Structure 1
Amino acid sequence: MSPGVWLLVLLALPPTLAVEPLSMGLAIAAASALTGLLSYPRFYCGSLVECCEDRVLNATALQVDLEQKLFGQHLAKEVILKALKSFMSNQDPKKALTLSLHGWTGTGKNFISKIIAEHVYKQGLNSKFVHLFVSAMHFPHDDQIPKYKDQLQAWIRGNVTACPRSVFIFDEMDKLHPGLIDAIKPFLDYYDEIDGVSYRKAIFVFLSNAGGDLITKVALDFWKNGKQREELQLKDVESILSVGVFNNKNSGLWHSSLIDKNLIDFFVPFLPLEYRHVKKCVTVELQSRGFEVDEDIITKVADEMTYFPKEEKIYSDKGCKTVTSKVDLVIDL
């Protein structure tokens, strides 16, 4: 109700319900302030409901998050930061941003997808504009692929129509039936619109264990040649990775038109984690539980993990995935 309407209501009150001029002034001022707040989009969207909006990416905050929470992944940090910063600052992108994250389990793929979601929408994975698909859960039956394709297209079409800046995350791509992901090809292509809907502001993130062996081989060769892992550049891995998953029947991207038509913007390699990285994960886990950082405990937990290759024992075979349970084991001893 506008201040003017409030005034008319107050003046129409019977004498017994009349208010003092000061009280009336306060009432009108309060009504005016409330009206102004409710008509102000940022207040409404930030405090009352979650709105689809083109937020300005805080690149500094994203960089800090990546540096403090993701260990041993200099390539992923660099690619994600640059890609997201460039895409979010572009009000007229040519196509949807498409990232394909590859590496062994426990190396940080799910963790970084969570960070991406949180920096696009404050509620992160809980946002109604962020959509997570898990292959084994959402697409379990090979004999229902045509049905899944129709459902997937309808879901993406409906959500992007409602919010152009939608985020779609596909986990366990290596368990996805080959050919299913090609159903979303039109949404990733260089079209201004499809049936009146633009998909160019959407973000698609694929997570896969496929290609982990190829990434590990490149990293191990670097180590054997006396080079530091930080010397690895994206060009040393990306082409090998894209060809590898294209020819891998268990990648979810086997002979995919998304690769054939160059619609995946970046193949992001997640390197196998070393002993020193595992120790950092243990440190963060202890801090999150309120424990003091104890070097003896950190070492004991890191030593509980298993490493490969058999002789050199350089890389953790589960990354940091079982750190939580190992901390439980060591603390209870």
Structure 2
Amino acid sequence: MKILHRQRHDQSSSMIFRKDYTLLIIYLSLSLVSGEFMTAGVVAVGSAISAGLLAGFNVINCMINECCTDRWVSTNYTDLKLTLDAKLYGQHLVIEPVVKHLKAHGKDNPSKALALSFHGWTGTGKNYVSRIVAEKMFAKGMKSKFVHLISATKEFPHKEMVPFYKDKLRDFIEARVKECPRSFFIFDEMDKMPPGIIDTLKPYLDFYENLGGVDYRKATFFFLSNTAGNDIAERTITTWTNNLDRETIKLKEMEEVIRLPALNNKSGLWHSELILKNLITAYVPFLPLERRHVKQCIKDGLVHKGYYKSEDEISDAKVQEIADELQYYPEGVLIFSTTGCKRIHEKIDLIMEEI
């Protein structure tokens, strides 16, 4: 089973360069230890030269090809909050904890791997936030070979194969973190993952300095789930019914709203040791989006798809027409979107494309 499908692009010019450079190193090393130069001092010099050439090659290679270096992997999250503030709508409980945890984890010696569990209905922004984080952390964004998107429904479809999946997942995580300690793992559709698989991650999320000579503490794990989506929605609706702004909802009051369903629903985190051993760094609630938030997504989508050059050109009537194609609840008031911003692009094409 191949857990992740990564795009690897062969660069013929760099491969030729690597081959020629390696041959040069071998030639110099053999020359220095040949009969003419068979002295301990010269051999030592030859070894030093070879090491220096290899180091030089690695530097040049990592200027061309993606490596696990600061050039390709960033821990500077200055722009992350600005982007989330500008592009993520209606999720005041998401931006601050995500940015703060990432910044704290980006320091030289984190105490453990970062594990954030995202919860909420579809279309509220869980995948969107994950993609933005990947773009800010890695020069190649979601196409980086150090970013790993793992879909539960695709990779773990058969409940009777849990032992097999656990072994494969363990091998995958170990190989990827050895390749790059700052690896980023996104587990999507956790609510559809067979119980027990995710406990494979327990050793890698614990407070160990190393396991088998490998330090997993710099890795980042996002778990995306619809679990507790109904509970989050009910709390949000209650707040609205009481004529309170959604911004009055606090993160602390949502933690148990999320934690209990995540632990007790028979899905990926059901009775998981990640929860029981408090290895989840934070539970992040994504609130259901209101019609006004969906309209903001529609404006972004119209510009992104090239129907308008800027939001200033878009009429309120056009946004309303597209928004009316979506479904809302509860009955009578129809204030919250049932699908968030997930279906807006197909609705934009429905309205905007001419026959």
The TM-score with structure 1 as length reference comes to: 0.85
Distance 1:214 1:92 in 2: 36
What is residue 135 of structure 2 aligned with on the other side? 118
**Quick one: which of 282, 303, 315 aligns to 2:324?**
303
Q: Do the aligned residues in 1 keep the contact of 2:74 with 2:136 (CA within 8 Å)?
A: no
Task: Name the stretch that deviates more: 49-58 or 234-243.
Answer: 49-58
Equivalent residue for 1:20? none
Matched residue type, 1:313? L
Q: Which residue is 1:104 aligned to?
A: 121
From 128, 140, 149, give the equivalent of 2:166.
Answer: 149
1:246 and 2:267 correspond: no
Cα offset, 1:142, TM superposition:
1.0
Contact 2:134 2:142 in 1 (8 A): yes
SS at the partner of 1:169?
strand
The equivalences for 1:25-44 within 5 A come to 39=56, 44=61
2:75 is aligned with 1:57:
yes
For residues 29-73 of structure 1, the C-alpha deviation after alignment (integer angstroms, 9 at most, x for no partner) is xxxxxx99x94977653x401111254433331012101221111
Aligned length: 298
> Is the counterpart of residue 313 in structure 1 residue 334 in structure 2?
yes
Q: CA deviation at 1:161?
A: 1.1
CA distance in 1, matches of 2:228, 2:58: 45
2:236 equivalent to 1:219: yes
1:227 shift after superposition: 1.0
Question: What's the secondary structure of 1:214's corresponding residue?
Answer: helix
Q: Deviations over 1:76-132 (max 9, x none)?
A: 1111111111111x1111100000001000010011111111111111111111111
Provide the rounded CA distance (Å) in 1 between the counterparts of 2:59 and 2:286: 37
Distance, in Å, in 2 between the alignment partners of 1:211 and 1:238 is 10
CA distance in 1, matches of 2:329, 2:68: 45
Pair 1:265 & 2:281 matched: yes
CA–CA separation in structure 2 for the residues paired with 1:100 and 1:326: 30
Q: Is the 8 A contact 2:74 2:138 kept in 1?
A: no
Query: Structure 1: how far apart are the matches of 2:244 and 2:329?
Result: 18
- Residue 289 (structure 1) aligned with residue 314 (structure 2): no
For residues 264-296 of structure 1, the C-alpha deviation after alignment (integer angstroms, 9 at most, x for no partner) is: 001100000001000000000111123142221
2:95 is matched with: 77
Q: Which position in structure 2 is the counterpart of 1:22?
A: none
Matches within 5 A, 1:95-244: 95-244=112-261
Tell me the SS of whatever aligns to 2:275: helix
* 1:332 partnered with 2:353: yes
Q: Secondary structure at the residue paired with 2:279?
A: coil
**1:255 aligned to 2:271?**
yes
Q: What SS is found at the alignment partner of 2:324?
A: helix
Q: In the alignment, is the contact (CA less than 8 A) between 1:114 and 1:125 conserved in 2?
A: yes
AA paired with 2:154?
M
Cα root mean square deviation, aligned:
2.1
CA distance in 1, matches of 2:116, 2:331: 33
- Matched residue SS, 2:86: helix
Name which of structure 1's ranges 278-287 and 302-311 shifts more when overlaid on structure 2.
Answer: 302-311
Secondary structure of 1:196's partner? Answer: coil
**In terms of mean alpha carbon deviation, does 49-58 or 315-324 score higher?**
49-58
